Chains A and B, each alone.
Chain A
């Protein structure tokens, strides 16, 4: 089961810039979580949104922020980009009826130069 789409697929930004990544989850999935996956590592939980409110946050600074919209789509915003922000950013949605399962999109590869 998938149907989670992310855009763009690739992005190159300069250090200090701001970036917005987008995620569209499928019908019936009301919770969205964002993860950062550095090269060769497992995904790290950034934060989660439920009913347009932040519902938990990992060990990431406030310059990482997000939004969830009434149609359950979501955005991840990162301000003041640093070189270490270069990673694959993954969006995962969770169905209303199965509250532990997470289904991932293909990710956005962000490169900060």
Chain B
């Protein structure tokens, strides 16, 4: 069964706008929640990650919001740029998993000029 559910499947945002991608998880043993960015023909690249002891983490234009009680987390891309056009995956893993990740299905983001 899919342990991490991601939405929307795709979104189009204008340059300068905000992209928001949501994920929900089921397994309360998960305690590491990364986001990956993938360009066509490339492997996923780690973008930003959060642990459940904080509710928000910001790195540049990328922010993760985390709601432990709702078992949900989201990625906000501020001031979206055409170069942000890519597929974004949320993921989750347990402590000391050494890279065993459960991925969402992905969101294709298109930023229009």
Number of interface residues of B (CB under 8 A): 26
Give the dominant DSSP class at A's interface.
strand
Bound together, the chains give a CA A99 to CA B101 distance in angstroms of 12
**Once the chains bind, are B103 and A42 in contact (CB under 8 Å)?**
yes
Q: On chain A, which size bracket covers the interface?
A: 20 to 34
Say yes or no for A44: interface residue by CB 8 A criterion: yes
**Once the chains bind, are A101 and B99 in contact (CB under 8 Å)?**
yes
**Once the chains bind, are A33 and B100 in contact (CB under 8 Å)?**
yes
Nearest-Cβ distance from residue B54 to partner chain A, whole angstroms: 15
Residue among A33, A44, A106 making CB contact with B99, cutoff 8 Å: A33
Other A-B pairs, 12, CB within 8 Å; known A1-B46, A48-B98, A106-B43: A2-B45, A6-B43, A33-B98, A42-B91, A43-B89, A92-B99, A100-B34, A101-B34, A102-B34, A104-B44, A105-B43, A107-B42
